[in-house]
Amino acid sequence: MDGFSYYNIFETKGMEYLIIITFLALLIPFSIILNRKVKIRRQLRKAMGILNTGMLKIPQGVFHSRNHTWAHLLKSGVANVGLDDLLLHITGEVNINCLKKPGESIAKGEVMTEIDHEGRHLKIFSPISGTITGANTGLADNPGILNEDPYGSGWIYKIRPSDWKADTSSYYFAEAATDWSKRELEKFRDFLAATMPKYSPESSMIALQDGGELRDHLLPELPEGVWQDFQKVFLNPGYRWDNERELRKV
């Protein structure tokens, strides 16, 4: 740049633009491949039997109540009700005992069924009020359907609702249900951390594997005391649990 002969300060600009084009072209496959691995990890975890939100089936058209029951209004005006997938993953395969018969009426918050596993039971409360028009008798013979298809053929009762809108107004729907399930899983983790030391200090080891992952179908391996606390915290209507200190008071 002596001022006496030709000098181009922008000599390399053409090359630079070519490098940019190459970069952008490579960035697309690079980021696609980078993100694809995450899916494989999730599938691995599912295969190893680790409980995570990736494995939950949460259909979008169904109302979820806080007590892990769901209700879905059909076009005929009758609603199906049942247990949600998260609860069934926690409890594993259970036997179901329908307490109500068709023709009877039921109120929201009334006990509608009991599920039990080797003597330990949990009471399930109805999400809506109305008249029972049908009960799924097939579940008694083949309880596995509950876990396989909790929202479809695993329905528990058909109820003609008396006040659908009022009953479901505070329930979770669609994406909100997905977010809520994630939070419930976290809540379950905290719940375990709070209760396990009370009942059996060593068994806290069973719940968590390396890396702090929860195992699938965990509840059957835990002591009776945990089942009772689980009932209070997760299934009883009206219970609000915001932190573990509350639970220690229970």
Scanning 52-60, 110-118, 146-154, 202-210 for contacts with other proteins by CB under 8 A, the matching segment is 52-60
Neighbours of 92 (CB within 10 A): 14
Q: Which of 131, 162, 178, 204 binds other proteins (CB under 8 A)?
A: 178
Report residue 57 as tokens: 């089936």
9 binds other proteins (CB under 8 A): yes
Measure Cα distances from 236 to 49, 50, 94, 103, 214 in Å: 28, 26, 19, 25, 23
Q: Which of 182, 189, 215, 217 binds other proteins (CB under 8 A)?
A: 182
Residue 232 lies near other proteins (rule: CB under 8 A): no
Is residue 35 part of the contact set for other proteins (CB under 8 A)?
A: yes
Residue 217 within binding range of other proteins, rule CB under 8 A = no
Residue 171 CA from chain centroid, whole number = 15
Part in contact with other proteins (CB under 8 A); list of ranges 17-25, 115-123, 208-216, 231-239: 17-25
CB of 75 to other proteins, least distance (A): 16
Token representation of residue 65? 């109540």
Task: Give the DSSP letter of residue 63.
Answer: E
- Per-position b or e across 168-200, b if 16+ CB within 10 A of its CB: beebbeeeebeebbeebbebbbebbebbbeeee
Pick from 129, 168, 181, 195 the residue near other proteins by CB under 8 A: 181
- C-beta separation of 80 from 95 below 8 A: no
Q: State the residues that interact with other proteins by CB under 8 A.
A: 3-10, 13-14, 16-17, 19-20, 23-24, 27-28, 31, 35, 39, 42, 53-54, 56-58, 60, 175, 178-179, 181-182
